[in-house]
Amino acid sequence: MPAIRQQTTLQGPCTITGRGYWSGLVNTLTFLPAPAGTGIRFFRQDLSDEQGIEAVAENCQGLSLRTCLGSGQMRFEMIEHVMAALSGLQVDNVLVRCTAAEMPGLDGSSYPLALALSTVGTIALKASRPQLNLQQPLRVGTDMAWVMIQPAERFEIEYQLDYGPNSPILACEYSATIQPEIFLNEISPARTFITRSDADALRLQGVATHVTDRDLIVFDAKGPVDRSLRFVNETARHKALDVLGDLAVVGADLLGSVTAYRSGHQLNGQLAARLRELLLNQSDTVGQLFDNQGQRRAA
């Protein structure tokens, strides 16, 4: 079993700016160092609430095409790429100050975020990072789409992508042990993708009308439109990136092997919620044992 590591934060601030896919609004994200125990906390600079919202499962909602945090005005949309970058690089405590609700789409990947964060670097704090040790497998979904996690000595993700023989997106797989260097080089560059028919349907609804074929990967019957894939299995890598970002809201290092088959943000979010419950119950149990031992020692 890996040793429990120390919590981390950034060595200094960094910023990144881009437009949201859905809203088209420009959003500048400022990442600031934070003390141990803060977690990942999002703030809206255009609103007056100084408390912000912690990015944990009970505050999240997995939608079909994105993951959102908060509710009402205090809302943050499409947080999965930001969370994947922070989790993949093991940045545990940070304040994320935003000038709009939707996170920047950038080039469709987490690489610009990961590059900015890794350039600043992290420092260790004087507190241990929570670690969730699974006792048995957990699975959510159906035979058509599912995601599961099994006990393991390290955190691994495998994604199996298969939209059927009639899809222009070819079936492929990707698996990796999640470590900062692997995330930065192999996972973070994988970009968001969509079929031409789905993109056209969204535009007819008045959604993402500003997004072009250069902002993400669009597939038609002949394959990627005017783009070259960064990896043969880039689509599966991006879905693994989404799984990582969606599970980051558990708020702990996971010791488990995750396998996902055609899962999306909603299924990922359901698994994250189950794991978050296990973590909180584990913390309560540890606290009770400590109290009981303390009472016995005092006696």
Q: What is the pLDDT of residues 233-290, one digit of tens each?
A: 999 999 999 999 999 999 999 999 999 999 999 999 999 999 999 999 987 654 443 3
SS3 141: strand
Question: Do the domain assignments include residue 204?
Answer: yes
pLDDT for the residue numbered 101:
93
pLDDT for the residue numbered 285:
57
Chain position carrying tokens 């007819």? 204
**pLDDT tens-place string over residues 42-71:** 999 988 767 789 999 999 986 767 899 997
Question: Do the domain assignments include residue 1?
Answer: no
Query: In whole angstroms, what separates CA 193 from the centre of its chain?
Result: 16
Q: Which residues constitute the domain of residue 165?
A: 7-298
What's 296's DSSP letter? H
Question: Do the domain assignments include residue 2?
Answer: no
Reported pTM: 0.92
Token pair recorded at residue 107: 């080039």
Question: Do the domain assignments include residue 12?
Answer: yes
pLDDT for the residue numbered 220:
92
Question: Do the domain assignments include residue 175?
Answer: yes
pLDDT for the residue numbered 22:
82
Question: Do the domain assignments include residue 54?
Answer: yes
The CATH number covering residue 264 comes to 3.30.230.20
Residues (pLDDT < 50) of the chain are 286-299
Q: Are 78 and 67 in contact (CB under 8 A)?
A: yes
Give the H/E segment covering residue 120: helix 111-120
- Determine phi and psi for 182, rounding to 5 degrees: -65, -45
Q: Say whether 238 is catalytic.
A: no
Name the active-site residue from 81, 210, 238, 265.
265
Q: Are 77 and 20 in contact (CB under 8 A)?
A: yes
Give the H/E segment covering residue 95: strand 94-98
Backbone torsion region of residue 106, taken as left when φ is above 0, otherwise alpha when ψ lies between -120 and 50, otherwise beta:
left
Question: Do the domain assignments include residue 86?
Answer: yes
pLDDT for the residue numbered 1:
61
Structurally, the chain folds into a number of domains equal to: 1
Q: Are 262 and 277 in contact (CB under 8 A)?
A: no
pLDDT for the residue numbered 49:
66
Question: Do the domain assignments include residue 49?
Answer: yes
